[in-house]
Structure 1
Amino acid sequence: MQKTIPCVFMRGGTSRGPYFLKDWLPQDIETRDKVLLSAMGSPHELQLDGLGGANSLTSKVAIVSKSAHPDCDVDYLFAQVSIDRALVDTRPNCGNMLSGVGPFAIEQGLVPAQNGETLVRIYNVNTKSTINAVVQTPGGKVEYEGDAKIDGVNGTGAPIRLNFLDAWGTVTGKVFPTGNLIDEIDGVQVTCIDAAMPMMIVRATDMGWKGDEKPVDLDANLEFMARLEKMRREAGLKMGLGDVSDSVIPKPVLVSKGAHDGQLVSRYFTPLKCHRSHAVTGAIGVATAYVTPGTVPYGLSVERQPGIHRIEIAHPSGRIEVDVELAQGETSVEVTGAGLIRTARKIMEGQLYIPSHILPETILPGTTS
């Protein structure tokens, strides 16, 4: 007989997936990952037997618990579930799924709601970084409806402010893990950066593109995609990430000049397909590189003084505005903080059915095998 575990299905930003309390899942990692694969219907190209949407943006999971860190309220572990392979990757963060963590944590009783707005201090387990989420809670209840619009999502919703406090160098130990602002891979200049997400940033023109192409056209060019993946794997080695053939990091990004100063056009890969909009963490990283002198994207920018600057990342579905805080470093300005607005929506809440051979009686959620 099938087993059931609680599940909340949510859209977070431009991503979607199930949200779980950590205690709802097996504590044994191998069994937990089998449960997540079953929940999403992987491995299968259509994910017919689960909640996945046959796209990397809709094959994501958020796992939330009371924080073990005194200066945070909750811990958030993100899991990227492969569509066609039995693989669960917990190395990256996802800023879009992060958008739903605050509302979820409040409604699950992990954070008491305030009247008006509620601050949720989130520790991202994947990248060991802290993000403050400000959630709308009029009357002490989470409000999902509102007037905030994010490109890539139909309609509007209540604004959720995400402030990234220490997302720079958290995965590799350095903002620029190779020790260089620019490296050369396969004869092309790249910037390898670890800012909210490890990435390899390349000028679109250096890869034979204008930079404003549709994702479907980029994906269809198999020769280009194979070259980009080869470059990404080499970047992973240079960044100290090892063999990244089974990991979704680092993410490759193509950038080109925007319509005006302060705007950068980006095509962000997940990594084997071009994102139909843009990752939040990717926007933080691209904006960081854009305002840092000496990087590949900085060549498309102008010098900026210390202070808060709004950077617009143009993507296939519209744009993301990132407020970047700059401070004077030893030799140039450095990014010390970044924030942006997202929305989220609870779609359903209930019981998720898991086959008994994956979740036997001897391995109940919240216990070890």
Structure 2
Amino acid sequence: MTQTAIPYVFMRGGTSRGPYFLRSDLPQDLDKLAEVLIAAIGAGHPLNIDGIGGGAAVTTKVAMLSPSDDEWADIDYFFAQVSVEERLVDFKPTCGNILSGVGPAAIEMGLIRTQGEETKVRIRAVNTGAQVEAKVQTPGGQLTYDGGSQIAGVPGHAAPIQLSFMGVVGSSTGAFLPTGNLRDSIQGIEVTCMDVAMPLVIARAADFGLSGYESAEELDGNEEFFDRMEKLRIEAGLAMGMGDVSKSVTPKFGLLAPAKDGGTIAVRYFMPWKTHPTMAVTGAQCLASCALTPGTVADGLLNRPNSCPAEIVLEHASGTIDVLIDFSNNESFVLNSAGLVRTARKLADGYIYVPKEVWDGS
């Protein structure tokens, strides 16, 4: 054969989708791994025509699973963000939406046995070290994708997957506030640089002359805004101790505005070179934490809840996402855990084929 066959499960996880592999079925060397994933996804073409990517950043994501040697975790989840139009792979970030499918995928792959009506899967996000407990519906010991939960950005209903995130503060930079400040002025814009599940640079939409209620399409068409945002993001990345981030998808970027549809606060999230059509699970945790923290750029945009845990409803480009934050706020804001409900569905399984000249399977 002139191609190498690699077993996979193709899953929608939250509002993203992509192939889920056993880590042991792929090259251990990261440079060779990147070549294999670029070939599998078809990166380097706007339609990913020579691979299984969907021509958007939310459909060129990859999960790689293995049994964990961590005392707490059952499964190690290694994430890769494959570029759409460039032949690039970023192993730095994680993805909470793709993580939504890790529990079901681990059961599908035989890595986890079901435990009755509901199966708990403890997941270590290898990229960041975060700990996440996923509760997967397994009535009668059988994995099911059928249920009554609905999430914005996905049609229909499906079985709920409850995610509880722990150990997410400073997961990429080592600090809740990587610059040491609640606010910084960068490129003439006041921002909060925060690292909760995903490092973010967060600003007020009004400071860019935006309402914060623009559609993803409207924002993607605003080249002047993206140019300003990217210059700011690159400078902020240096200030956050992340080095040159011009070729990295982290830190991500977020905008805040007052809620207008009954939520807690309105947000827009960037991946970072396109507007996210909905909301990333990791980004939602960071934006919700920013909203809860006094002294950040969220001041004056919301009425902060005093109860704990606090339910933060983020209004995003396609609807809302609820984040349940368990925190303490004595001398400073301390996040204990963040909970969200997502859904997932198995779409296909079998083999992905890559040319032997890319990898011969050894």
Name the TM-score, length of structure 1 as normaliser: 0.96
Name the TM-score, length of structure 2 as normaliser: 0.97
Which residue is equivalent to 1:367?
none
Matching of residues 210-229 of structure 1 within 5 Å: 210-229=211-230
1:226-256, CA deviations, whole angstroms, 9 ceiling, x for partnerless residues?
1100000011000000000110000111110
In 2, distance between residues paired with 1:26 and 1:121? 25
In 1, distance between residues paired with 2:332 and 2:100? 32
Which residue is equivalent to 1:187?
188
Which residue is equivalent to 1:126?
127
Which residue is equivalent to 1:136?
137
Which residue is equivalent to 2:23?
22
In 1, distance between residues paired with 2:283 and 2:238? 20
Q: What is the aligned residue count?
A: 361
In 2, distance between residues paired with 1:29 and 1:287? 33
Identity of aligned residues (%): 49
Which residue is equivalent to 2:146?
145
In 2, distance between residues paired with 1:317 and 1:328? 31
Which residue is equivalent to 2:350?
350
Secondary structure at the counterpart of residue 234 of structure 1: helix
CA drift of 1:261 comes to 7.5
In 2, distance between residues paired with 1:301 and 1:181? 17
Matching of residues 72-111 of structure 1 within 5 Å: 72-111=73-112
Matching of residues 177-326 of structure 1 within 5 Å: 177-259=178-260, 263-305=264-306, 307-326=308-327
In 1, distance between residues paired with 2:291 and 2:67? 35
Matching of residues 155-170 of structure 1 within 5 Å: 155-170=156-171
Matching of residues 20-99 of structure 1 within 5 Å: 20-99=21-100
In 1, distance between residues paired with 2:212 and 2:200? 17
Consecutive unaligned residues of structure 2, counting only runs of 5 or more, are none
What's the C-alpha RMSD, in Å, of the aligned pairs? 1.2
1:335 aligns with 2:335: yes
In 2, distance between residues paired with 1:90 and 1:332? 31
CA drift of 1:305 comes to 3.3
CA drift of 1:160 comes to 0.1
CA drift of 1:299 comes to 3.0
Matched to 1:351, the amino acid is: Y
Consecutive unaligned residues of structure 1, counting only runs of 5 or more, are 365-369
Matched to 1:144, the amino acid is: Y
Matched to 1:204, the amino acid is: A
In 1, distance between residues paired with 2:220 and 2:115? 45
Matched to 1:215, the amino acid is: A
In 2, distance between residues paired with 1:305 and 1:149? 28
